[in-house]
Structure 1
Amino acid sequence: MSTPTTDQPAATKFAYWVPNVSGGLVTSTIEQRTDWGYDYNKKLAQTAEAVGFEYALSQVRYMASYGAEFQHESTSFSLGLLLATERLKVIAAVHPGLWQPGVLAKLGATADHMSNGRFAVNVVSGWFKGEFTAMGEPWLEHDERYRRAEEFISALRGIWTEEGYTLGGDFYRFRDFDLKPKPLASAGRPHPEIFQGGNSTAARAMAGRVSDWYFSNGKDLAGIDEQIRDVRAVADPLGRRVRFGLNGFVIARDTEAEARETLREIVAKANKPAVEGFRDAVQQAGSSTGDKRGMWADSTFEDLVQYNDGFRTNLIGTPEQIAERIVEFRRHGVDLILCGFLHFQEEVEHFGAKVLPLVREMEAAAGIAPSPFQPAVPA
């Protein structure tokens, strides 16, 4: 049975997927009023910031695949969004194996200064073998990719916080490396926040040891409880606090029936070859682990129409139903909800006007601390 955390929670933080990749957030021929270009995304970032979103996550793809024909590079796109906003924190997804940590540390420090401390990274251990082999880079087995990612994160943190950083690792080596200037530091923030994803045992252990945030694919309450428990089992003995983000695809409509009909239409109009191709590519990540607990290992066809299992979180219904669901996840230890939408600009506005105020009301009634990141304009 699922049980909530005993910690006194602070207010839920909200992030949205940056649609810097074409095709939208569902692999379906249903209409998606969104755009992967910079002008659209600049306006979207400003809207999200105004209505109360605190984070945005820029996706990373390097070549066309599974309905994503075009894609903008994540770090440069993130910097563009940072310079177009004032408070929004932008998380750039990066792949170890395609980045050298010293180079990324330098880029991150510069972006951090240019944005007054709002740059963050999401370290993606890698699922798309075709991108690596197309660029002539070696493809490591699952647990080796996580060993490399852990060393990558350790190097990033060391370079950002230490003088004369030295590392003799299995994947990266540094000798008396000094980064100047360091990123901006503040109370509770010694370096840019480091996020990671992954569902596997290796991913959970890595998060407990080195990451600031653990992103989960879409999950129900029991699923997220299991992941939080496993990560904390590693982090707590080390005296570390890891925060938890949960992916969820939001379908907020006037009635639950209308929201469910939208979901039915999304799945009915799925781009079947693209979804099945994506499934074939990613499910080896889960099945290649010894205990079969990897990301996407148990995802159904319907789950993968939203390629990070976003339907599983069940943020589908009326604003009241969605707000209740979010507050329940908060009680179970989820610190951040990462939102995807069908029609980004209008649905981010609708979420800020109709869902977020209800979340704050319900959190206040439950004794959850208020968020310092309130909308800059009336909802």
Structure 2
Amino acid sequence: MTTYHDKTEATSDDAIKFAYWVPNVSGGLVISNIEQRTGWDIDYNRKLAQIAEASGFDYALTQVRFTAGYGAEFQHESVSFSHALLAATEKLEVIAAILPGPWNPALAAKQIATIHHLTHGRIAVNIVSGWFRGEFAAIGESWLDHDERYRRSEEFIRALKGIWTEDRFTFRGDFYQFDNYSLKPKPLDPHPEIFQGGSSRAARDMASRVSDWYLTNGNTPEEIAKQVDDIRAKAARNDHEVKIGVNAFAIARETEHEARAVLAEIIAKANPEAVNAFGHEVKNAGKASPEGQGNWAKSTFEDLVQYNDGFRSNLIGTPHQIAERILDLKRAGADLILLGFLHFQEEVEYFGKHVIPLVRELEAAEPLPIAAE
């Protein structure tokens, strides 16, 4: 049973974290022909990272793409792009997306360890198990069944942790093998945080064993709470702790009517061919899981206009409405909100000025749970 203090202030550890999707691929974060004043080039992204850092964001997450599709005609490589953003900032932590298959854990461990030293510990990784079969075929990588992709990712994470923490790392897995491997220098202590995505049973099971952070698609607080309860119960049985990040697409405007009008325009100007093609790929990937579920199993056409069901988190309205809904997600178990925007530079700045302070005020007034005796 949980009891509560009458009133206390949220500490920095208790405060919900904020991250943004780095637009290091073209096309923005919605599959729509609406104007998106967002650039995928390095100059735009350096300035965006500096704005985000000054606006109270904790993390930036780069994307990994190897082929064009769904509006993403151009793609910058995630690890090197992450390093460039780190060089332009002082506090922001950047999460580099890494895809097992193209990356070997020995290479990734060495790359990230070096960047960890160069940036005083501000690099993290997001291990992406993969959903686009055509991309794997295009670059000559084998396509594994759904749960096999997560098994490989789990081995990848175990290899990263072993290389980063053991003097002589030996590992005999089905996908990776190491024999008395010693990486020097190792990353700073603690080693880089490890994120992963997914909503399937295999994704949650993997996170409950090895990941520091679990990122899931946008959803209602009620549905997020179900995932949180499942993953944390499993993690407790594994003597492990994992934090939860929730995807959301934010449209913060002075009035709810104005915000809803922007959403309606995004959907009205959606590219049906691209949205349906994206939906076909991601739903097929999920159906391949034993339970026939995945990140996009219940996504509608409107949901799929934003890659990761960001509209379903409902951060659309006035700053105060959005702040209250963020608190609802936090109560459901979210530790981080991963945000996409239509016009990144200006909207990240607006969000930092008008939404994050309201969230902090609401957190300070929120009774915090304490363990019952």
Mark yes or no: TM-score above 0.5.
yes
CA distance in 1, matches of 2:37, 2:4: 41
State the Cα distance separating 1:74 from its structure 2 match.
0.3
Residue 176 of structure 1 is matched in structure 2 by: 180
CA distance in 2, matches of 1:127, 1:212: 21
CA distance in 2, matches of 1:222, 1:95: 30
Residue 231 of structure 1 is matched in structure 2 by: 231
> Do structure 1's residue 133 and structure 2's residue 137 form an aligned pair?
yes
Residue 145 of structure 1 is matched in structure 2 by: 149
CA distance in 2, matches of 1:5, 1:96: 43
Give 1:25's aligned amino acid.
Answer: L
CA distance in 1, matches of 2:4, 2:84: 40
1:88-140 deviations in whole A, cap 9, x for unaligned? 00001111111100110000000100110000000000001111111111100
Give 1:161's aligned amino acid.
Answer: T
Give 2:160's aligned amino acid.
Answer: L
Change (3 A) 1:293 1:164: same
CA distance in 1, matches of 2:314, 2:3: 20
8 Å CA contact retained: 1:101, 1:156 = yes
Matched ranges for 1:266-281 at <5 A: 266-281=266-281
SS of 1:245's equivalent in the other structure is: strand
Residue 247 of structure 1 is matched in structure 2 by: 247
8 Å CA contact retained: 1:150, 1:206 = yes
Give 1:60's aligned amino acid.
Answer: V
CA distance in 2, matches of 1:293, 1:66: 22
Give 2:156's aligned amino acid.
Answer: F
| Identity in percent | 64
8 Å CA contact retained: 1:165, 1:174 = yes
CA distance in 1, matches of 2:25, 2:228: 30
> Do structure 1's residue 35 and structure 2's residue 60 form an aligned pair?
no
1:349-371 deviations in whole A, cap 9, x for unaligned? 100110011001111111469xx
Matched ranges for 1:254-265 at <5 A: 254-265=254-265
CA distance in 2, matches of 1:367, 1:5: 9
8 Å CA contact retained: 1:285, 1:295 = no
Residue 286 of structure 1 is matched in structure 2 by: 286
Residue 84 of structure 2 is matched in structure 1 by: 80
CA distance in 1, matches of 2:338, 2:368: 19
> Do structure 1's residue 45 and structure 2's residue 49 form an aligned pair?
yes
SS of 1:324's equivalent in the other structure is: helix
SS of 2:223's equivalent in the other structure is: helix
CA distance in 2, matches of 1:197, 1:22: 21
Residue 323 of structure 2 is matched in structure 1 by: 323
SS of 1:43's equivalent in the other structure is: helix
SS of 2:278's equivalent in the other structure is: helix
8 Å CA contact retained: 1:213, 1:243 = yes
- Matched residues, number: 362
> Do structure 1's residue 307 and structure 2's residue 307 form an aligned pair?
yes
- Aligned residue among 69, 72, 75 for 1:68: 72
> Do structure 1's residue 105 and structure 2's residue 122 form an aligned pair?
no
State the Cα distance separating 1:331 from its structure 2 match.
1.8
8 Å CA contact retained: 1:5, 1:332 = no
Give 1:118's aligned amino acid.
Answer: R
Runs of 5+ unmatched residues, structure 2? none
Change (3 A) 1:157 1:348: same
Residue 16 of structure 2 is matched in structure 1 by: 12
State the Cα distance separating 1:294 from its structure 2 match.
1.1
8 Å CA contact retained: 1:251, 1:315 = yes
State the Cα distance separating 1:293 from its structure 2 match.
2.1
CA distance in 2, matches of 1:6, 1:40: 45
Tell me the TM-score normalized by structure 2.
0.95
State the Cα distance separating 1:254 from its structure 2 match.
0.7
Residue 210 of structure 2 is matched in structure 1 by: 210
Tell me the TM-score normalized by structure 1.
0.93
